[in-house]
Amino acid sequence: MPTVVIHENLIKRICNELKKSYEYGGVIFGVKERDHVKYLMAYFPPQPKAGYTCVFDSKAVLISRRALDEAYEIYEVPLLEMDWIHTHPNIGAFFSKIDRDTLKEIAVYKKNIIGIVVDPFRYEIKAFTILDGQIKEIPVKIEDFTIDEKFYNAIPFVHHNIYINTIRKYGALKEFHITTPYEIRVVKSIPAVRREEGIKDLGELKEYIDIKLNELREEIRKYKEELLQTIIRVNIEL
C-alpha cells in the first residue's frame, strides 16, 4: 500500500491560500520513491464557477504535463508524479460518492492515481487510491523533508512555466494558485515594449499586459488582507 508524504510547508500554504467557502480542485506533483510519493508542489487552476463541487478545465492538466516534460528534458530530473487534489472547506476530509466516481474516471487515464482531499479550515488531510478495484484510504504523513538538489532549479522552472501558460490560456484576472514549500519569485521574462520601438508583436504585448495585470491583482489582494487584519485588530482593541 502506497504512503502519501506531503511537505509540511506545502500543506500549510495550501490551507492558508485556499480557505474559501467553495471547493477548489487541482493537481499535485510528487516524487515516487519505492512505496511512497513525496509531494512538493500543487497547481490549482482557475475554477469555472464556485460551488460545492470542484470543476476545472482539463487543459490545465495539459499545461502541467507540458511543464513537467520540459523540466525532465532540461534538468534531467525524475519525472514527477501528477495526482488529483481538492478541498472540502470546513466539512472534513473524506471522499464523497462524486469524489469516488471522479477518481475512477481519472484512473482510466492514469494508473495508480492518488486522490488527496484537504479541509483547509480544520487542517485535515486524507488520501485515497484504487487497490484491487476498490477505493481505499491510504496513509498520509506530513513531514519537513529535504528536497533533492536536482529539483532546486526544476521546481522554479515548472512554477514559471505553469504561471505563464495559465495567464496565456485564461488571462491575468482569473484566480489561480501555484503552491510550493518555499517562496518562489516569478521570473519576468517578457520585456516591456518601449514606445520608440512601436508595437511589433501584439501577442507579446498582450502577454506583457496580462502579467502586469496579474501582478496588480496580487498587490490588491495583499492590500485587502492587510486592511482586513487592521480592521479586526482595531475592533479587538475597542
User: Domain residues of the chain, as ranges?
Assistant: 3-143
pTM, entire model:
0.75
Note the CATH number of domain 3-143: 3.40.140.10
State whether the Cα torsion 31-144-160-209 is positive or negative: positive
Q: What is the pLDDT of residue 226?
A: 75
Q: What is the pLDDT of residue 224?
A: 75
Please write the tens of the pLDDT for every residue from 116-143: 999 999 999 999 999 999 999 999 999 9
Please write the tens of the pLDDT for every residue from 201-226: 455 556 666 676 777 777 777 777 77
Question: Higher-confidence residue: 102 or 219?
Answer: 102
The closest alpha carbon to 171, from 213, 202, 201, 200, belongs to 213
Q: What is the dihedral of CA 31, 33, 37, 39, to 10 degrees?
A: -30
Q: What is the average pLDDT across 151-163?
A: 85
